[in-house]
Structure 1
Amino acid sequence: MKKLIFLVLFVTAYVVSFAQFPPQGKVEYKTMPSKILNEDREYSIYLPKSYATNTDKTYPVLYLLHGGGGSHKDWPGRGHVGDVANQLMDSNEACEMIIVCPEAGKTFMNYFNHPEWRFQDYFFEEMIPFIESNYRVIGDKKHRAIAGLSMGGGGTVVYATSHPELFCAAYEMSGYLYRQDLPFLDKNDPVQERLQTLVEEHNCVKIIQNADAQTVEALKTVNWFIDCGDDDFTFDPNMEFIAALRAKQIPYQLRVRDGGHTWEYWHSALYIALPFVSNCFRGI
């Protein structure tokens, strides 16, 4: 009898605990092989709460890029993307989606191609196909979006402008869009100097300014969102980027909020970014 009573109490406690803490989406840290980069590459992936239980369901995907000097763990750790996603999905402010955070650091920290580091080729030729082959992703433009902060914001723009046929939405946060000779950057550091050169070779403002009519029409199929703090050192380049979009009559959304180049700002941006890309996925 005592064992039965104990079992009943245990089951009751478990049910109550489960009711108080329902299943949530989770972040996993993984690796994938890369022939292009000749090494295994790390990535973080957020899987929504129904992923494990509803094995017939497929999901849209957001590729979320970290900033310079960061890693694939930044958005889950410092940006709390898992917690934000769970909150917004539970309240139906965002649809269930898979969120992938690539690792672009450690070796060269560069989202762009370089003779020794073809990261852009890796992203499009290996990572996207790998994710879509190994996870239940809806692999089309209408259900694929990209976003990123700072250097990853620049990467977001470059990736979406180079392949507008792949993304329905691009959300750029505090984007580092072209070379800025900032006081905290060391011109005598060859690694930093090479990165700055690559950034300038992919000057996001010039990409829009120099776009021909056919390219402009393709860029109009992407839902653009620019989010930058009024105290951010990237504010002026971002306003130039807006001016370039306006000159080409490319639709966009813009938010200028109080804040600088900080994780407080980017964490809060997720509460705008995830509903925005969700509406794009939903066709709203």
Structure 2
Amino acid sequence: MKKIIGSFVFICIVFTAFAQWPAMGKVEYKTMPSKILNEDREYAVYLPKNYMENTGKSYPVLYLLHGGGGSHTDWPQKGSLAGVANQLIESNEATEMIIVCPEAGKTFMNYFNNPEWQYEDYFFQELIPFIESNYRVIADKKHRAIAGLSMGGGGTFVYASHHPEMFCAAYAMSAYLYHQKELFWLNTDNDPVQKKIHQLVDDNNCVKLVEYADAGKVEAMKTVNWFIDCGDDDFTLRPNLELIMAMRQAGIPMQIRIRDGGHTWEYWHSALYIAIPFVTDCFRK
């Protein structure tokens, strides 16, 4: 009898502990319509823990882009987005924010406009307005940031360069900045779809974008807080170093991290612990 009573008490304690466990931010998976792309688009959204209860509060927003061949589920599932964000927010290393992970196409994946896939137009003309109409975000440059990995890192740099009036911060991780044809495993000659994708990357070459920028564009880019983060074993290291030198030559301030690691989720997961506090500092300025 004592054992039964003891077990009952233990179960009650466990349930009470769970009931008192603090609520945490979470990721939701959603879809939205797109007239530009003529199909519904998927996205993931991280909402901080007080979002549902504190209905009078609006939040800054971070758009977090996946890499080539990935999807909107990558950052939540492979990058442990909610766990990292919750930990940083609870420790006050980051402010509460909304984080949006769009899906850029599972077959013809690209962040840049082309006749078949006007994704950049979708991003600025439909996705951002949709998020700002359906979630309580602070809809101004000071409270809007962008980050991404690999091809999404290149997309991050191009988007913030094309629209510096939209973002206070841009964090590019292991950014794929142009097609590195010398790498045999990136040879796309026998794959017309991949060849077209990498041609679009080349058409939006981030290094040339800075090198050929006129004085007005350079001044506009200086209004963005830039962060370049790349592993010392990453195949994108050389292009990232070229971008860093081009930005220095142009006089565009930036933060730089060349850390131990390669083109892996271990690296990008660790980058979140730098990226989220970085954009927080920009939001708080």
Tell me the amino acid that sits aligned with residue 250 of structure 2: K
Q: Using structure 2 for the length normalisation, give the TM-score.
A: 0.94
Measured in 2, the distance between the counterparts of 1:136 and 1:12 equals: 37
CA displacement at 1:59 relative to structure 2:
0.3
> Is structure 2 residue 271 aligned with structure 1 residue 274?
no
Kept after mapping to 1: 8 A contact 2:158/2:204: yes
Measured in 2, the distance between the counterparts of 1:254 and 1:159 equals: 19
Counterpart of 1:183 in structure 2 is: 184
Moved more, 41-50 or 178-187: 178-187
Measured in 1, the distance between the counterparts of 2:189 and 2:96 equals: 44
CA displacement at 1:13 relative to structure 2:
5.0
Describe the superposition over 1:123-151 as per-residue Cα deviations: whole angstroms up to 9, x where unpaired: 00000000000000000000000000000
Deviating 4+ runs (over 3 angstroms): 8-15
Q: Using structure 1 for the length normalisation, give the TM-score.
A: 0.94
Counterpart of 1:133 in structure 2 is: 133
Moved more, 182-191 or 144-153: 182-191
Counterpart of 1:3 in structure 2 is: none
Counterpart of 1:41 in structure 2 is: 41
1:250 counterpart SS class:
coil
Unaligned runs of 5+ in 1: 1-7
CA displacement at 1:252 relative to structure 2:
0.2
Identity rate, percent: 71
Measured in 2, the distance between the counterparts of 1:42 and 1:76 equals: 13
Measured in 1, the distance between the counterparts of 2:41 and 2:52 equals: 24
Kept after mapping to 1: 8 A contact 2:211/2:250: yes
Measured in 2, the distance between the counterparts of 1:69 and 1:131 equals: 24
Describe the shift of the 1:166–1:16 C-alpha distance in structure 2 as closer, same or farther (beyond 3 A): same
Counterpart of 2:58 in structure 1 is: 58
Describe the superposition over 1:196-255 as per-residue Cα deviations: whole angstroms up to 9, x where unpaired: 110000000000011111111100000000000000000000000000100011000000
Kept after mapping to 1: 8 A contact 2:27/2:45: yes
Q: Which residue, 207, 210, 219 being the options, matches 1:208?
A: 210
Counterpart of 1:105 in structure 2 is: 105
Counterpart of 2:19 in structure 1 is: 18
1:79 counterpart SS class:
coil
Measured in 2, the distance between the counterparts of 1:198 and 1:37 equals: 17
> Is structure 2 residue 250 aligned with structure 1 residue 248?
yes
Residues 56-135 of structure 1 correspond to what in structure 2 (within 5 A)? 56-135=56-135
Tell me the amino acid that sits aligned with residue 46 of structure 1: Y
Count of residue correspondences: 276
Unaligned runs of 5+ in 2: 1-8
Describe the superposition over 1:149-168 as per-residue Cα deviations: whole angstroms up to 9, x where unpaired: 00000000000000000000
Describe the superposition over 1:12-37 as per-residue Cα deviations: whole angstroms up to 9, x where unpaired: 65432233x31000000000000000
CA displacement at 1:108 relative to structure 2:
1.1
